[in-house]
Chains A and B, each alone.
Chain A
Amino acid sequence: MSARNAVPLALLRPNEQGVIADIVGGTDAHVRLLELGFTRGREVRVLKNDFGPLIVALNEQRIALGHGMAQKVLVRLSCPS
């Protein structure tokens, strides 16, 4: 089930948020992402995306992930509230 209009998380700017539509790429990275709670349908918000790994908010947790990892997470942008 590929998601229409989904963009890689790596492209989101700080304070933008989206709903995770899919996770692509190798199994290893995939499982690491799943274990940390990156699952379809969950809301993720970018706190920092300038230099070095991104920092994102997933519910209460804060997770740093490299750009390579962030490319694998596809999100549907949700309008900022």
Chain B
Amino acid sequence: MEPARTTQTLTIAVAGNPNSGKTTLFNALTGLRHHVGNWPGVTVEKKEGRYRDPKSGREVLLVDLPGIYGLGAYAEDERVARDYIVGERPDALINVVDATNLERNLFLTVQLLELTPRVVLALNMWDEVEARGMKIRTDLLSERLGVLAVPTVATKKQGLDTLMEVALDVAARSVREPLRIDYGPEVEEALERLVPLLERASELAAKYPLRWLAVKYLEGDEYLAREVEDKLPREALAEVRAIRAHLRERLGEDPEVVIADRRYAFIERILCDVVERPQEAETLTFSDRLDRILTHRIWGIPIFLFLMFLVFEFTFALGKPLSDLLEEAFSWFGDVTGEYLTDLGVHDTVVSLVTNGIINGVGAVVVFFPPIFFMFLAIALLEDSGYMARAAYVMDRFMRAIGLHGKSFIPMLLGFGCNVPAILATRTLESRADRLTTILVNPFMSCTARLAVFVLLAGAFFPEHAGLVVFSLYLLGIVVAIAVAKFLRTFIFKGESAPFILELPPYRFPDVRSLLLHTWDRAKEFLRKAGTIIVAIVILIWALGNLPPGVEENSEESYIGQIGQAIAPVFAPAGFGTWEAGVALLAGVLAKESVNSAFSAVYGVDPAELGPALAEHFTPLAAYAFMVMTLLYIPCAATIAVIRQETQSWKWPLIALVYTTLIGYTLAVLVYQVGRLLGLA
């Protein structure tokens, strides 16, 4: 019996199925006092928050585990949840279940209980239970499972105080044994022989409840099987394998299936006594009727596209004016600060660093914020209303054809606005392969910043056909994205695609408060993380443009100019081998709009005279090749930063950096050389 832990901060984890109201409950408990991050080394979102116990005034740390259906190791998020419970040993575990659907929700519950007895059940959506005329005997349920069950309505904050009281009580108590389910004579016999063998590896015994580990091993859990094979002495290993093989033979089918069946049988037996459903005729619900229209074989897609168009409009129609306002505010602030510092007699270099470097750099991030906020608001609205699952359903066939998942469509579309929120939107994809592929091809979707460059160049060189030229570039981006997605799926991330199986939650009117919270969580994260990286890069570029001391900013003699000169020959085959073009492309790495401002800096003209100035340095064909390069090469710094943030490693952003540049360069050269052969130069 271990002593009750009261000295350090208590940690309580929250687990439950997707659509069980888990996140709503977590938000209701922590309010704004939580932050979103990532689990170390994976792309699964991690939320932590603080709850103050009103009675004792103690702070409790709440950890929101990913929404999962079970504790297998197939999905990354299930593994994350499992590792957390095993590794971190939270003081208590709140298991949120949808009380209207106990059969399925308890499937996770019993697996949690087999792992740890420190569990409290939150029977959520209790209002629904009552509305449907169901009767659930919580006392009996508690007794059978050996844990307390508290009815809650997270959306109305009902039952939460009681829930936390019980959870804190569980956290302070000493531990009993985990739940034991009777798996039937064959499996039980195998378990009885397995556990003593596993005990021989002291490392395993210290880390896992051994019966649970033995069950998992029989279930053929690859991840844990590997661990068992690593830690077990050789002679024991042979025996362990023999036990599993023998069991399979005796059962005549996969032990895994038998074990799952017995789990369900255990649940059914409990529920027979606990749940009483009113006999109702099977009718189509409101959601079903709505689905008849929204998932219709013909109307589903146009409706979806129309809604996406609305999201797009919403994001940029609302975001753009605010962005412009912020841009002006920053430029005004930069001017004022510059004047003020100059009046104080501060050295020019410092003034330039503060205004051109830092203020512009911070500005470059903050102007992204409004569209990002609205984008996330739109996405949260789609998610919380239940439509997102239908969107994935509708687009699945088309996306599957190009090697992506139905849910990949939304980030791809959002990429036309800005790749940064688009990449953040890939968080809705469960499978790592789907998610990484979607992230890596996203930068090919031409964003609004690139549009600024296209408008400038197309207007200067193809005034008659500017629209067509810009459209051709968008199309090129899509074609490249599809080709790269196909390639990645065929050679890099093969065979990991999640089979299409998706719960369609009932349609709901989203709750405004949780909608805003949801949105703010994601948007603020972007500000905090990408902001720091961007500012660093801005300062670097500024330094390169202003050194060695005494050079004119971004001139040929500055370091950036010298770098431009060094790389210019590389671009000769693409028709724009000038140092100015090199500098513009380098500046574009920071933010694609910077290509325009870099041109005006290096040609020393103001934006109004930029067109004619460009005409002296580019042929139309070279200009088109330059646009192809601008479209495809290195994603902007914010995108790189967000790829780094979302993949939790530098590996993928660096790979993206290399292959986008290669593809961009190859196609730009191809366009120029083929164009010359056709006599278009």
Q: In the bound complex, do residue B397 and residue A64 qualify as a contact, i.e. CB atoms below 8 Å apart?
A: no
> Does chain A have a CB within 8 A of B461?
no
Knowing that A36-B501, A64-B393 touch, tell me 18 more A-B residue pairs with CB under 8 angstroms.
A30-B256, A32-B499, A35-B69, A35-B72, A37-B101, A37-B103, A47-B291, A48-B291, A53-B502, A55-B291, A59-B103, A61-B101, A61-B504, A62-B288, A63-B501, A64-B504, A66-B500, A68-B499
- Quick one: given A27-B220, A31-B70, A31-B256, are A61 and B503 in contact (CB under 8 Å)? yes
> Does chain A have a CB within 8 A of B408?
no
A56-71 at interface with B (beta carbon < 8 Å): 57, 59-66, 68-69
B-contact bits for A39-81, CB 8 A (1 contact / 0 none): 1101001011011110101011111111011000000000001
Most B CB within 10 A of own CB, among A34, A36, A47:
A34
Q: In the bound complex, do residue B396 and residue A52 qualify as a contact, i.e. CB atoms below 8 Å apart?
A: yes
Give the residue name and chain of the A residue nearest to B19 (CB): A61
Q: In the bound complex, do residue A62 and residue B291 qualify as a contact, i.e. CB atoms below 8 Å apart?
A: yes
Q: In the bound complex, do residue A63 and residue B103 qualify as a contact, i.e. CB atoms below 8 Å apart?
A: no
Give the residue name and chain of the B residue nearest to A29 (CB): B499
Most B CB within 10 A of own CB, among A32, A45, A64:
A64
Give the residue name and chain of the A residue nearest to B73 (CB): A31
CB < 8 Å neighbour of B295 from A33, A35, A48: A48
Give the residue name and chain of the A residue nearest to B398 (CB): A52
Q: In the bound complex, do residue B396 and residue A66 qualify as a contact, i.e. CB atoms below 8 Å apart?
A: yes
Interface size, chain A (Cβ < 8 Å):
35
CB < 8 Å neighbour of A39 from B261, B284, B287, B292: B261
What is the CA–CA distance of A62 and B504 in the complex, to the nearest angstrom? 5
B261-298 at interface with A (beta carbon < 8 Å): 261, 264, 282, 284, 287-288, 291-292, 295, 297
Q: In the bound complex, do residue B397 and residue A52 qualify as a contact, i.e. CB atoms below 8 Å apart?
A: yes
Q: In the bound complex, do residue B503 and residue A27 qualify as a contact, i.e. CB atoms below 8 Å apart?
A: no
> Cβ of B397: which chain A residues have Cβ within 8 Å of it?
51-52
What is the CA–CA distance of A40 and B260 in the complex, to the nearest angstrom? 10
> Cβ of B72: which chain A residues have Cβ within 8 Å of it?
31, 35
What is the CA–CA distance of A61 and B107 in the complex, to the nearest angstrom? 15
What is the CA–CA distance of A57 and B506 in the complex, to the nearest angstrom? 12
What is the CA–CA distance of A20 and B504 in the complex, to the nearest angstrom? 20
Most B CB within 10 A of own CB, among A30, A57, A62, A81:
A62
A-contact bits for B483-518, CB 8 A (1 contact / 0 none): 000000000000000011111111000000000000
Q: In whole Å, how far is B425's beta carbon from the nearest beta carbon of chain A?
A: 20
> Cβ of A23: which chain B residues have Cβ within 8 Å of it?
257
Give the residue name and chain of the B residue nearest to A80 (CB): B282
What is the CA–CA distance of A61 and B502 in the complex, to the nearest angstrom? 11
> Does chain A have a CB within 8 A of B525?
no
- Quick one: given A31-B72, A40-B261, A55-B295, are A64 and B502 in contact (CB under 8 Å)? yes
Give the residue name and chain of the A residue nearest to B100 (CB): A60
> Does chain A have a CB within 8 A of B389?
yes
Most A CB within 10 A of own CB, among B256, B261, B500:
B500
Give the residue name and chain of the B residue nearest to A45 (CB): B282
> Does chain A have a CB within 8 A of B650?
no
Q: In the bound complex, do residue A47 and residue B282 qualify as a contact, i.e. CB atoms below 8 Å apart?
A: no
Give chain A's interface secondary structure class: mixed
> Does chain A have a CB within 8 A of B74?
yes
> Does chain A have a CB within 8 A of B104?
yes
> Cβ of B292: which chain A residues have Cβ within 8 Å of it?
48
Give the residue name and chain of the A residue nearest to B506 (CB): A62
Q: In the bound complex, do residue A63 and residue B503 qualify as a contact, i.e. CB atoms below 8 Å apart?
A: yes
Sorted nearest first, the 4 A-B pairs with minimum C-beta distance are A66-B500, A35-B69, A37-B104, A51-B297
- Quick one: given A31-B72, A62-B503, A68-B499, are A50 and B396 in contact (CB under 8 Å)? no
Q: In the bound complex, do residue B501 and residue A31 qualify as a contact, i.e. CB atoms below 8 Å apart?
A: no
A-B contact pairs, 29 of them (CB 8 A): A30-B254, A30-B257, A31-B72, A32-B74, A32-B499, A34-B107, A34-B257, A34-B260, A36-B104, A36-B503, A39-B261, A39-B264, A42-B103, A48-B292, A52-B297, A52-B394, A52-B396, A53-B396, A55-B295, A57-B288, A60-B100, A60-B101, A61-B504, A62-B503, A62-B506, A63-B501, A64-B393, A64-B502, A65-B500
> Cβ of B284: which chain A residues have Cβ within 8 Å of it?
47
Q: In the bound complex, do residue B257 and residue A62 qualify as a contact, i.e. CB atoms below 8 Å apart?
A: no
CB < 8 Å neighbour of A50 from B261, B288, B297, B505: B297
Most A CB within 10 A of own CB, among B220, B291, B503:
B503
A-contact bits for B94-120, CB 8 A (1 contact / 0 none): 000000110110011000000000000
What is the CA–CA distance of A37 and B108 in the complex, to the nearest angstrom? 11
Q: In the bound complex, do residue B74 and residue A28 qualify as a contact, i.e. CB atoms below 8 Å apart?
A: yes
- Quick one: given A48-B291, A52-B396, are A27 and B500 in contact (CB under 8 Å)? no
What is the CA–CA distance of A64 and B295 in the complex, to the nearest angstrom? 11
> Cβ of A45: which chain B residues have Cβ within 8 Å of it?
282
Q: In whole Å, how far is A50's beta carbon from the nearest beta carbon of chain B?
A: 5
Q: In whole Å, how far is B75's beta carbon from the nearest beta carbon of chain A?
A: 9
> Cβ of B100: which chain A residues have Cβ within 8 Å of it?
60
Q: In the bound complex, do residue B499 and residue A66 qualify as a contact, i.e. CB atoms below 8 Å apart?
A: yes
What is the CA–CA distance of A39 and B282 in the complex, to the nearest angstrom? 20
What is the CA–CA distance of A68 and B393 in the complex, to the nearest angstrom? 15
What is the CA–CA distance of A40 and B506 in the complex, to the nearest angstrom? 25
Most A CB within 10 A of own CB, among B74, B394, B499:
B499
> Cβ of B70: which chain A residues have Cβ within 8 Å of it?
31, 34-35
What is the CA–CA distance of A42 and B300 in the complex, to the nearest angstrom? 30
- Quick one: given A59-B101, A59-B103, are A31 and B393 in contact (CB under 8 Å)? no
> Cβ of A57: which chain B residues have Cβ within 8 Å of it?
282, 288
Give the residue name and chain of the A residue nearest to B504 (CB): A62
Give the residue name and chain of the A residue nearest to B406 (CB): A53
